[in-house]
Each structure stands twice: as structure tokens, then as C-alpha cells.
């Protein structure tokens, strides 16, 4: 917590803009690694504006200022940001380029090239703005009590969990570089470095990574820029043909690539790298991070690990769902989230939440990325919706699951049940899908929305994101979304299946399981894929309008509940098992 009052921070940053020769400043949400979760020392957007969401940016001029984010955070922006100091705008409906053009002036907007990616800057191009790279970040200058950078120690992710040694991975990526005619690749994504070296760490919340940059060469050698004292003896097992260099040597090592063809992923690499390499005479070639696709396609060891941790996680979730049915009414949202975390912590392999739990009662459930805060959270009341979206990090994998419950004891409204059932139909439709090899997630997105569309309903977020193997809960390059991505779904990929519906001020519904892509058993035709459902927990039967379910959907639901009881029931005590038996009982039309 900074000692500098939030109301004074904007003026402190503005004070230095003139000295820097600019009349505005662009501040994205993110760190030097352009990641979703950042260390406390990199929470610049939150420090300046009060907005704590995981996506957004601020534009600060001398006479006005705005914060932008997407549909997940519309309400959170309004709640957290002072409207007297900042306009709160939708990133795509009211884009920054239009905001800059409002007064008709030409603005010189400074930015920190270590925090801004090429795609972000290209998306902000406007005739009303000239974007200028700065050597000094005015937020860092004003933030005099900024926390120290993280210094967690590396941990080794053994081959019994990773399924492949680091040198083997590096040789494959080095071979891909040779094939592309490129001498080196800059590794800026900490999850790629963690995967490549079979290491984990605790530099940022919820994602077990070490924040470090690296240069991978054709010959599989790797230069990692990190304080050598952070490399544990166990982690050093993975460091064959690896050089450990202090971070301050990074600029010189980049300059040493002069004359070479160097690959960078523009979506993961800050502009500073491109500028430094170009000035040194290196030939920069843009292309996807070569670690991303093999990291996403889990090998057999990682697939088995995902199955195992989802059984452990589902056991905790089912205990929690029974707990909520007994004792949840009258508890606060934060207390409920803590209770679920306690059930997960009963496993010795549990390493913490994979993201801050979304524990939302009643109208708060209508905020897709709501976060309950102690002292500001709601009490869960009778005859109310409760939405719990949470996940865990385990040594062998990462989980993410959402259930929406009715507290009772009264019957839920018919309109609520219809909306819930249409969301459930979308979840089932995606889980049952079979599709040709080469299909992208974009082509499947409408399956999850179709039943909602027929009633004039929809949701303003993606349907599915990738999930790592004891890494990021939001992992690319695959996704399932209305926004096209060229990456085809492939065996071993794990994606979420989470359609929803939100009625502002009343309730929200989201139902989520994780799905793993696998070949479809269609006889001699090997050109199709399908999904394997990983998690097992009942859907609240009180909210299901069985008359809306088609026979195939009802059969799938009853089979899923039967499998849930078979897999999870034996691990529960008598009381929890009796509850699960009732929750998983067959539903008739």
C-alpha cells in the first residue's frame, strides 16, 4: 500500500511530462514481460488510477485523462476509479484513438518502450497523436515507495511431471530456428522460459514463474539473465548448455547479435527489444514464440497429470458445494472463497489459487470478473444466486472451474432457470463437439452461444482460454472466442468451456469445465478430434429446466453426473457422499 494518496498521484506524474518533452503519457496494464499477472512493483496502472483489473490502459494528458478496459471490467472500472479525475471507457467501443481526437489537437504522447508491445502501439495509431519513447518512466519517478522487485528461488520441475528434459526441448526449438533461417530467438514470456528450462518460481501471484529474459540460439544454447543466487541446486539440473548472466548484461548481449537474424514474438516482446536489436544491426523477424505451441500441446505425462489434479480438485469442489448448501447462507463472499481454498489445501500437492477466486453473491455475480474484498463483500442470502469461479495450482497441473448455485429454500424464478439451462446447453454443446483436424476455436464458439442466441441472450467475453501445466491459467496460443485466431486446436491442448449470461443488477450465470483435445474414435477416419472433460462436479439441478434439454443433452448430463459420482464419491465421507448422490441423481424430461 503506497503512502502517497491516490488523489495526488495523477498530478505527480503530470509534473514530469513537461521535463520529458511530452504532453501526455500512455500507461498499459502489464510489466516488462507483458504478462497478465504482475509483481507488486509492476502494478503501475493500479497505483496511478486505482483500477486493479488484469487488462486495460490509461492515457494521461495535461488537461484530461481516461482509463480503458474491456467488457469484463466495465463495472469494476466505475467502482474503483475516481470519475472526477478519470473517464472510464470501453477499450473497443470508445477506443483511445477516438478519445485523443476529441479536442482536435496533435498530442505528443510518451510511452515506456519496456512496457509497451508493438501490437498495442500499432493499435493506437492516430493522426492526433505522436507516440514518443521515453528513457524515464514518469510513474516510476512519482512512485517513490514502489515495492522491491521479486527474488524468489527457482524450483526444478522434474521430468516425472514435465515429461521431457530441457535440453531435448531446446534442441527442438533450435532446429525450428534453423529451419526458419534464424540464428536466435528472444524469450520474453516467463511461462515459455519456465517450460523450456523445466523450472518454476514465485515471482508473480498465481502463476509459478521466474521473471527473466533469455536468448535461445540455434545450437540449443541459452543465455538467461538473472541473479545466479536465485538458481537453486535442483533447478541447475536443467542448465546444461545454459549461461547465467546478470540482468544488466542484457543490452550488450542483444547488441552482440548484430548481423544475425533474430526472431521475436511481437505479442510478447516489448518494443525496447526491437529498438535495441535494430539499432545494433540485427535483422528482426517477427513470428510466434516457438515455445508456445509445444507448451500448449501437453505430452502424455502432462495429460495424465492434468487428469490426476482435476480429480483432486473436483473432490475439494464437491466438498465445498455441499458445505455451501449447509452453511453458505449468511456467510460473506470472501469467507466462502477462503473455505474453498481450505478444502483444496487438504491436498499436499496444492500450491495455491491459479487466480483470485470470483466469489459472487446475487447481483455481484453479474460482474464477470468481480473480486470480493474484505469489508466490501456481500453476505450470501437465502433464495439468491451464488457464482464461484476458481482454480488451483498443483505440482502436476492447473485447474479452473465455475459453478452457479441457488441458495434456496424457495424455488428459483422461471426466467432464471431458463437462462441457466440455456447456458448449460451451451456448455454441453461444446463438450460434445467433434470437429475436423485444423479447426480453430473461433469456429466452435457459436456452439456455446447458440441456445442463448435463440432467446436473444449473449455474453461479452470469450468462451474458452488455454490452460498451462502448473503454469498460467490463461495460456495461449489457442482459445475459443468470437475473435478469430489462426491457431488450430490440437491433441493435448486444454481449453476452458465457460459460457455465461449476466443480468446487471440481478444475477450472473457461468458454467465452466476444462476440456482436453484428443483424437475422435471414428473408425478408419482419423481426421477428427473431440474433447475429454477433465473436471467433475454436479450442475445445480434446482436451476435446470429439463424440458429445454434435448434427449442427447439430457443423456450427456446424466452420464456426466454418473461419472462424477463414480470418480469423486469414493473419496468423500458419508455425509458428503450422500449429498453427491442426490446432486447426481438422474434427471428426467
Nine cell digits for residue 309: 489434479
Burial of 333 from C-beta contacts in 10 A (0-12 / 13-18 / 19+)? buried
Q: Write down the domain spans for the chain.
A: 6-142, 155-295, 297-583
Residue 35 has what pLDDT? Answer: 85
Residue 19 has what pLDDT? Answer: 87
Question: Closest Cα partner for 287 from 125, 492, 118, 133?
Answer: 118
Burial of 214 from C-beta contacts in 10 A (0-12 / 13-18 / 19+)? buried
CATH architecture assignment, domain 297-583: Alpha-Beta Complex (3.90)
Q: Pseudo-torsion of CA 365, 370, 373, 376, nearest 10°?
A: -50
Residue 5 has what pLDDT? Answer: 92
How far CA 74 is from CA of 183, 260, 470, in Å, comes to 44, 45, 30
Q: Do domains 6-142 and 155-295 have the same CATH topology?
A: yes
Residue 57 has what pLDDT? Answer: 92
Residue 128 has what pLDDT? Answer: 78
- What's the CATH number of domain 6-142, 3.40.50.1360, 3.40.50.450, 3.40.50.2300, 3.40.350.10? 3.40.350.10
Write out the chain's pLDDT in tens, 589 residues.
688 999 999 999 999 898 899 999 999 998 999 988 899 999 999 999 999 888 899 999 999 999 998 877 777 888 889 899 999 888 888 888 888 888 868 889 999 999 999 888 888 877 878 899 999 999 999 999 999 999 999 999 999 999 999 999 999 999 999 999 999 999 999 999 999 999 999 999 999 999 999 999 999 999 999 999 999 888 888 888 899 999 999 999 999 999 999 999 998 999 999 999 999 999 999 999 999 999 999 999 999 999 999 999 999 999 999 999 999 999 999 999 999 999 999 999 999 999 999 999 999 999 888 889 898 899 999 999 999 999 999 999 999 999 999 999 999 999 999 999 999 999 999 999 999 999 999 999 999 999 999 999 999 899 999 999 999 999 999 999 999 999 999 999 999 999 999 999 999 999 999 999 999 988 777 799 999 999 999 999 999 999 999 999 999 999 999 999 999 999 999 999 999 999 999 998 7
Bridge-based pairing of strands 199-200 and 494-497 is: unpaired
Residue 514 has what pLDDT? Answer: 98
Nine cell digits for residue 142: 512519482
Residue 237 has what pLDDT? Answer: 82
CB 332 within 8 A of CB 377: yes
Which contiguous run of DSSP H or E holds residue 57? strand 57-61
Q: Is the pTM of this model over 0.85?
A: yes
* Alpha carbon 120 to chain centroid, angstroms: 18
Q: Given the C-alpha cell 463438450, which residue does it identify?
A: 431
CB 462 within 8 A of CB 479: yes
Residue 535 has what pLDDT? Answer: 97
Burial of 532 from C-beta contacts in 10 A (0-12 / 13-18 / 19+)? middle
- What's the CATH number of domain 155-295, 3.40.350.10, 3.30.450.30, 3.40.50.150, 3.40.47.10? 3.40.350.10
Amino acid at each position: 500500500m503506497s503512502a502517497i494518496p491516490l488523489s495526488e498521484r495523477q498530478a505527480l506524474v503530470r509534473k514530469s511530462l513537461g521535463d520529458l518533452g511530452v504532453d501526455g503519457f500512455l500507461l498499459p496494464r502489464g510489466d516488462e514481460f507483458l504478462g497478465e499477472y504482475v509483481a507488486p512493483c509492476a502494478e503501475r496502472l493500479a497505483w496511478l488510477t486505482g483500477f486493479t483489473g488484469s487488462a486495460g490502459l490509461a492515457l494521461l494528458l495535461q488537461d484530461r485523462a481516461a482509463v480503458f478496459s474491456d467488457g469484463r471490467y466495465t463495472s469494476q472500472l466505475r467502482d474503483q476509479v475516481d470519475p472526477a479525475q478519470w473517464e472510464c471507457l470501453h477499450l473497443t467501443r470508445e477506443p483511445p484513438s477516438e478519445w485523443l481526437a476529441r479536442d482536435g489537437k496533435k498530442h505528443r504522447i510518451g510511452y515506456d518502450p519496456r512496457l509497451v508491445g508493438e501490437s498495442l502501439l500499432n493499435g493506437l495509431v492516430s493522426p492526433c497523436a505522436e507516440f514518443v519513447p521515453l528513457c524515464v518512466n514518469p510513474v516510476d519517478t512519482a512512485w517513490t515507495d514502489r515495492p522491491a522487485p521479486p527474488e524468489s528461488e527457482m524450483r526444478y520441475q522434474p521430468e516425472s511431471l514435465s515429461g521431457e528434459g530441457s535440453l531435448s526441448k531446446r534442441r527442438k526449438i533450435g532446429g525450428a530456428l534453423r529451419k526458419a533461417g534464424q540464428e536466435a530467438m528472444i524469450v520474453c514470456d516467463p511461462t515459455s522460459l519456465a517450460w523450456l528450462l523445466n523450472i518454476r518460481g514465485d515471482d508473480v501471484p498465481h502463476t509459478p514463474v521466474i521473471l527473466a529474459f533469455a536468448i535461445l540460439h540455434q545450437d540449443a544454447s541459452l543465455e538467461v539473465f538473472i541473479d545466479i543466487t536465485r538458481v537453486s541446486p535442483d533447478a541447475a539440473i536443467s542448465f546444461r548448455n545454459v549461461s547465467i548472466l546478470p540482468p544488466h548484461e542484457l543490452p550488450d548481449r542483444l547488441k552482440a547479435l548484430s548481423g544475425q537474424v533474430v526472431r521475436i514474438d511481437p505479442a510478447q516482446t516489448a518494443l525496447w527489444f526491437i529498438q535495441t536489436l535494430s539499432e545494433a544491426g540485427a535483422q528482426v523477424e517477427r513470428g510466434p514464440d516457438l515455445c508456445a505451441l509445444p507448451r500448449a500441446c501437453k505430452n502424455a505425462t502432462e495429460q495424465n497429470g492434468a487428469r490426476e489434479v482435476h480429480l483432486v480438485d473436483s473432490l475439494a469442489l464437491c466438498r465445498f458445494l455441499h458445505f455451501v448448501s449447509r452453511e453458505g447462507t449468511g456467510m460473506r463472499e470472501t469467507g466462502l472463497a477462503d473455505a474453498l481454498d481450505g478444502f483444496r489445501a487438504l491436498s499436499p500437492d496444492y500450491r495455491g489459487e491459479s487466480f483470485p477466486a470470483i466469489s459472487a453473491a446475487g447481483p455481484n455475480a453479474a460482474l464477470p470478473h468481480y473480486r470480493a474484498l474484505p469489508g466490501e463483500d456481500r453476505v450470501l442470502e437465502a433464495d439468491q444466486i451464488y457464482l464461484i469461479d476458481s482454480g488451483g495450482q498443483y505440482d502436476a497441473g492447473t485447474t479452473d472451474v465455475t459453478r452457479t448455485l441457488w441458495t434456496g429454500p424457495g424455488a428459483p424464478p422461471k426466467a432464471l432457470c431458463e437462462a441457466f439451462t440455456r447456458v448449460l446447453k451451451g456448455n454441453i454443446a461444446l463438450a460434445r463437439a467433434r470437429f475436423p483436424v485444423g479447426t480453430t476455436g473461433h469456429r466452435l464458439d457459436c456452439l456455446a452461444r447458440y441456445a442463448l442466441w435463440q432467446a436473444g441472450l449473449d455474453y461479452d467475453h470469450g468462451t474458452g482460454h488455454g490452460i498451462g501445466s502448473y503454469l498460467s491459467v490463461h495460456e495461449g496460443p489457442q482459445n475459443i472466442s468470437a475473435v478469430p485466431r489462426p491457431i488450430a486446436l490440437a491433441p493435448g491442448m486444454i481449453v476452458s468451456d465457460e459460457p455465461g449470461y449476466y443480468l446487471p443488477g440481478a444475477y450472473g450465470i457461468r458454467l465452466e469445465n476444462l476440456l482436453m483435445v484428443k483424437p475422435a474414435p471414428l473408425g478408419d477416419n482419423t481426421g477428427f478430434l473431440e474433447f475429454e472433460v477433465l473436471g467433475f462436479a454436479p450442475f445445480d439441478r434446482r436451476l435446470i429446466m429439463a424440458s429445454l434439454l434435448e434427449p442427447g443433452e439430457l443423456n450427456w448430463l446424466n452420464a456426466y453426473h454418473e461419472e462424477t459420482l463414480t470418480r469423486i464419491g469414493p473419496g468423500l465421507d458419508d455425509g458428503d457422499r450422500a449429498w453427491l448422490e442426490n446432486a447426481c441423481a438422474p434427471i428426467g424430461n
